[in-house]
Every structure is written in C-alpha cells, then in structure tokens.
Amino acid sequence: MIVFLDFEASGLGKHGFPIEVGWAAEDGTEEKHLIRPAPGWEEWEESAETIHGISRDRLEREGEPHDAVAKRMVEVLTGHDLYASAPSWDGQWLSRLLRAAGQPRHALRLRDTEEARQVAALSAMRQAGLNPAEHSGLLVSLLGTLTREAEDGTPAHRALDDARRELALWREAKRRTEAAIAGLNT
C-alpha cells in the first residue's frame, strides 16, 4: 500500500529533532502524533515554531513518548511503500526518531513523492494498453504540471495535513492520466 508521510521539526539545525509525524494512506487510513522530545533533544528554533505553531511546552504536555511513536510507526508502516515530499529531511527526522527509540535506523525507508506520481501515471498508461515510451510527451507534460502545482502550493506545515496533500496530488496524477488517455481514445 502507498503511504505519504510528513514530519515537522524543532528546526533545521544540526541537532533539530522531529516533533510531529503524520501519514495518510491510499486506503484512507491516517494517523498523526505529537512527539515528546527524547532525552538530549534540546535544539529549538523559534522561527520553526512560528511556522508550525507547535510549542515545546505543548510537546511536553501533549506529546507521546518518542519510543511509543517510533514503535507505532514500525508496526503500522513496515512493508508499505512510504513517500515524502522532502525525503532527505523527513528521512533525517525518521532516522533520528528510530535511533532514539532503539529501533534499526533503516527499519522504514522513504522515497520521493514525485516518484509515486510517476509510477501512478505509468501504471494508468499500461493498464490502458499504452506504451509510455510512445506517449512520453504526455507523461512529461502531466507530471511537470503536477510538480509545478505541488511547488506552487503552500504547505500547511502540519504533518497530517501535508501528508494528505501529497496523497491528493498522487490521486490527481492517476485521475489526470486516465482523463488524458480517455481523450486520446475519442
């Protein structure tokens, strides 16, 4: 199953840490978790708090223990295709969370959401009996438009909302490809 995942962080500095994770799956399941900082997670950027609106005090009060969140993620997400819009950043937060919880750092792996949109479009073409190589212009145009729309949109900077947005873009890639194929057949 395809799952889109997003993290919010305490900041982008060398010692920043994950403070929220959310995921949205193609079957409609979704979760979000505020993450109580692990011991030693101290770096806090006021500029990051201004963007996501989550205070350190709120994390201490409402956050779930970091190891419980990591365990839940491994339980629920293992074996699924995981995608993130910024896999290098989100991968860093995922790795930091897993390591702090004593989980294998590579227990879960993230790929780029653009790859998920490309796979969706290619799959729709193949299911319609089209050779993607013969229709590469259509594929490039569709995916290019979606990438520009994704870049032009403003992220919510809340993990679940941003994961939902990526899921919607993936579904839109499938829908637009199917519509374009229908247009070729008329």
Least confident of 75-89, 118-132, 156-170: 118-132
Digit-coded pLDDT (tens) for 45-99: 999 999 999 999 999 999 999 999 999 999 999 999 999 999 999 999 999 999 9
* Inter-residue contact 54 to 8 (CB < 8 Å): yes
* Inter-residue contact 181 to 124 (CB < 8 Å): yes
Q: What pLDDT sits at residue 186?
A: 61
Residues ≥6 apart with Cβ < 8 Å to 170: 2, 4, 26, 83, 113, 116, 117, 120
All structural domains of the chain: 2-111 (3.30.420.10), 112-184 (no CATH)
Number of other CB atoms surrounding residue 146 within 10 Å: 22
58 or 128, which is more confident: 58
